[in-house]
Amino acid sequence: MPLSIATWNVNSIRVRAEAVLAWTKEHQPDVLCLQEIKCLDEQFPREDFERLGYRVETWGQRTYNGVATLSLSPMEDVVRGLPGDEGEAQRRSIAVTVAGLRIWNVYVPNGQSVGSDKYAYKLEWLRRLREVLGPSPRERDVLVCGDFNVAPEPRDVYDAGKVADDVLFHADVREALSELLALGLVDTFRLHHDEAGAFSWWDYRLNAFKRRMGFRIDLVLASEALAKRCSGCAIDVEPRRREQPSDHAPVTATFG
DNA sequence: ATGGCCAATTTTATTGGA
């Protein structure tokens, strides 16, 4: 049975509720992973999505971060956060199981600037994600999707020379992403597209979207067994063209 | 030229994002 999984950093669900609801109604992904909901669990517009047939699991926080996973089918074994999170930790991940498929929804830290404390936290967070996934991608069907805040390769940024020291493309974070992939995960977009210039995020400043100055940092990673059944992966840039958009575009992968 | 925009809160500035 075909299954579609979408991931979208919405940059505040309260500002974007109408746009996200319209997109969800139009595309009806089986599972929708949202990042940067920027609200408490009780502020999430749960009922609006339930009216579209979705179950809703949130891991929100005030002001920053926050993730939510929505599913047309029941979700089991919901795990909020990562091992090692402190009591007041940033809320950046939620894992659920849908039809036997383990789905991690992640919002990897941005890192602010190379060499900063936040950059160290980004690398440490990626290490903890790798540890919690452990050998699972080789043992079962696993998806890890979300905003990774890392562009994997030169063809995933608008100008690899210009952004070599960018916090989204620096060698250190790309190495950390490589180590995650080495667990047995596949970047599903690259199963179906070889071209450069396909991006999922554009800075609000600099007129970056119109100038095609983007990064592909929103990814759907699939365990190798699952990747064999991946029938497509696409970035939908339409929502980014509209009024008051998120700075990220949604990415949808489908499995046969 | 190293900034510009956007969202939330601490709101007429500041912080963080990416």
Q: What is the pLDDT of residues A35-80, one digit of tens each?
A: 999 999 999 999 999 999 999 999 999 999 999 999 999 999 999 9
Distance A139 CA to B7 C1' (A): 41
Q: DSSP H helical segments within A92-168, as ranges? A: 117-133, 136-139
3 state SS of A233: strand
Task: Place A101 in a pLDDT band, splitting at 50, 70 and 90.
Answer: very high
Please report the pLDDT score of residue A89 as a whole number: 86
As ranges, strand B nucleotides with an atom below 7 A of a protein CB are 3-10, 16-18
Distance A12 CA to B7 C1' (A): 7
* Token representation of residue A178: 């490589």
- Is the CB of residue A110 less than 8 Å from the CB of residue A167? yes
| Contacts with A39 (C-beta within 8 Å, 6 or more apart), sequence order | A12, A13, A14, A60, A62, A66
- Whether the beta carbon of A241 falls within 7 A of nucleic chain B: the reply is no
- Whether the beta carbon of A44 falls within 7 A of nucleic chain B: the reply is no
Task: Name beta bridge partners: A99.
Answer: none
Please report the pLDDT score of residue A125 as a whole number: 96
How far is Cα A167 from Cα A120, in angstroms, rounded to an integer?
A: 11
- Whether the beta carbon of A82 falls within 7 A of nucleic chain B: the reply is no
A 10 A CB-CB count for A63 gives: 9
- Give the relative orientation of helices A117-133 and A171-181 as an angle to the nearest 10 degrees: 10
The percent of residues above 70 in pLDDT, for chain A, comes to 100
Distance A109 CA to B17 C1' (A): 10
Mean pLDDT, rounded, for A173-187 = 97
| Contacts with A19 (C-beta within 8 Å, 6 or more apart), sequence order | A239, A242, A244, A245, A246
Instruction: Verify whether residue A107 is a known catalytic residue.
Output: yes
In tens, the pLDDT along A202-251 reads 999 999 999 999 999 999 999 999 999 999 999 999 999 999 999 999 99
- Whether the beta carbon of A24 falls within 7 A of nucleic chain B: the reply is no
- Is the CB of residue A8 less than 8 Å from the CB of residue A34? yes
For residue A36, give the nucleotide whose C1' atom is nearest its CA.
B17
- Whether the beta carbon of A165 falls within 7 A of nucleic chain B: the reply is no
| Contacts with A18 (C-beta within 8 Å, 6 or more apart), sequence order | none
Distance A49 CA to B10 C1' (A): 32
